[in-house]
């Protein structure tokens, strides 16, 4: 369960791991430029001689934005999962299972199909936020009975809306089949991945993490209290219903800002908070930063793996995260069946 020394060292360890992975992410790829050119590129920042513009483009305009999307996307999804599990008082809640991610994908897809995406760079993330908020709000209302969220009800409501919204997204794709550009962009949401990410994607992901992360972080203690029954939270001075609505919305924001740029990336939001809880315990003041760092490490690592396998595998990021996420989810369900705490 992590003794106090480990607990204090762990964030530092994770940070070091993340930095190492980040460098590996920038350096290693199936094609050039490689490590030597990377050092030369770094040197240009400190007044070193200019390198091949094509190489500088690969580092500065291709790999770096992709790295940032993976890093802050992973952190955001993990944070969203941790917040949802506390606010729904349910260890199986997460952006994918509650339907938040599907709603965000649908919202983003709709803005593209309606032709709004061209108007402003923020249209897609705002559409995602709207979609995420509506779907999550519906699950929130449907799954709640007397201030509690039963595992079964929450999952059923989540699955129902997930399927419905997924079908709507599919309809949006087929409906606009004659518009090849739009429908291929929408297809991207169904697959999930980090190919061809630009600085616009990087800034939106980073911005979402900073904005909504800053709203969540000061409320770590309220998250602790929200895991109690509402009576207990109330008696300790927390307006549980209000705090819960606000924090769930922040989780929607974190999810939307990521999904708008990455599409659906399964299981990160579910599994990472669990791993973090195993490492540092459930107190959110420590859990939130640990989960965010762990999510970043996991997504950067997964995407690096995607890029390093033979190109003809065509391995998608969502497939990698599902490969480790789904078995873990099944283990959780098995434990739940045995009546253990999750």
Partner 1 sequence: MNGLVASDLHLRVGERALLDGVSLAVRPGELVLLAGRNGAGKTTLLRTLVGALVPHRGRIELEGRPLAEWPGRARARQLAFVPQGVDTPFEFTGRELVTMGRHPHRGRGEALRPDDVAAIDRALAMVDAAAFADRRVTTLSGGEQRRIAVARALATEAPLLLLDEPTNNLDLEHALQLVAMLRRFAAAGRAALVASHDLNLVAPHCDRVVLLHQGRVFADGPPQQALANETLAAVFGVHGAAAEGFFPRAFRLPGSGS
Q: Is 238 one of the binding residues for partner 1 (CB under 8 A)?
A: yes
Residue 191 vs 236, nearer CB to partner 1: 236
Whole-number minimum distance, CB 225 to partner 1, in Å? 6
Whole-number minimum distance, CB 243 to partner 1, in Å? 10
Q: Within positions 190 to 229, which residues make up the interface with partner 1, using CB under 8 A?
A: 217-221, 224-225, 227-229
Q: Is 5 one of the binding residues for partner 1 (CB under 8 A)?
A: no
Q: Within positions 59 to 88, which residues make up the interface with partner 1, using CB under 8 A?
A: 86
Give me the residue label for tokens 């004659």: 178
Q: Is 6 one of the binding residues for partner 1 (CB under 8 A)?
A: no
Residue 238 vs 266, nearer CB to partner 1: 238
Whole-number minimum distance, CB 202 to partner 1, in Å? 28
Q: Is 281 one of the binding residues for partner 1 (CB under 8 A)?
A: yes
x/- string (CB under 8 A) for partner 1, residues 83-122?
A: ---x--xxx-------------------------------
**Which residues contribute to the site for partner 1 (CB under 8 A)?**
1, 86, 89-91, 217-221, 224-225, 227-232, 234-239, 277, 281-283, 341-342
């Amino acid at each position: 369960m992590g003794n106090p020394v480990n607990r204090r060292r762990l964030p530092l360890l994770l940070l070091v791991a993340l930095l190492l992975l980040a460098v590996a992410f920038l350096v290693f790829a199936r094609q050039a430029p490689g490590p030597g050119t990377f050092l030369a590129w770094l040197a240009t920042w400190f007044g070193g001689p200019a390198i091949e513009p094509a190489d500088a483009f690969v580092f500065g305009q291709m790999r770096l934005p992709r790295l940032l999307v993976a890093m802050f996307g992973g952190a955001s999804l993990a944070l969203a999962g941790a917040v949802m599990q506390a606010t729904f008082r349910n260890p199986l809640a997460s952006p994918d299972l509650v339907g938040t991610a599907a709603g965000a994908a649908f919202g983003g897809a709709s803005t593209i199909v309606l032709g709004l995406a061209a108007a402003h760079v923020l249209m897609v993330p705002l559409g995602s936020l709207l979609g995420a908020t509506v779907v999550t709000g519906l699950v929130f209302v449907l799954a709640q009975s007397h201030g509690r969220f039963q595992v079964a009800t929450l999952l059923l409501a989540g699955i129902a809306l997930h399927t419905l919204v997924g079908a709507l997204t599919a309809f949006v794709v087929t409906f606009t089949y004659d518009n090849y550009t739009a429908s291929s962009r929408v297809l991207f949401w169904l697959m999930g991945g980090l190919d061809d990410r630009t600085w616009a994607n990087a800034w939106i992901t980073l911005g979402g993490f900073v904005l909504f992360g800053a709203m969540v972080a000061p409320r770590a203690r309220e998250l602790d209290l929200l895991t109690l029954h509402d009576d207990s939270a109330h008696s300790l001075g927390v307006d549980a219903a209000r705090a819960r609505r606000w924090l769930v919305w922040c989780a929607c924001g974190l999810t939307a800002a990521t999904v708008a740029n990455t599409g659906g990336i399964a299981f990160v939001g579910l599994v990472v908070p669990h791993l973090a809880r195993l490492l540092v315990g459930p107190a959110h003041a420590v859990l939130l930063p640990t989960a965010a760092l762990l999510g970043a490490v996991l997504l950067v690592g997964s995407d690096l793996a995607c890029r390093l396998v033979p190109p003809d595998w065509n391995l998608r990021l969502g497939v990698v995260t599902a490969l480790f996420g789904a078995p873990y989810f099944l283990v959780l369900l098995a434990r739940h069946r045995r009546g253990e705490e999750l």
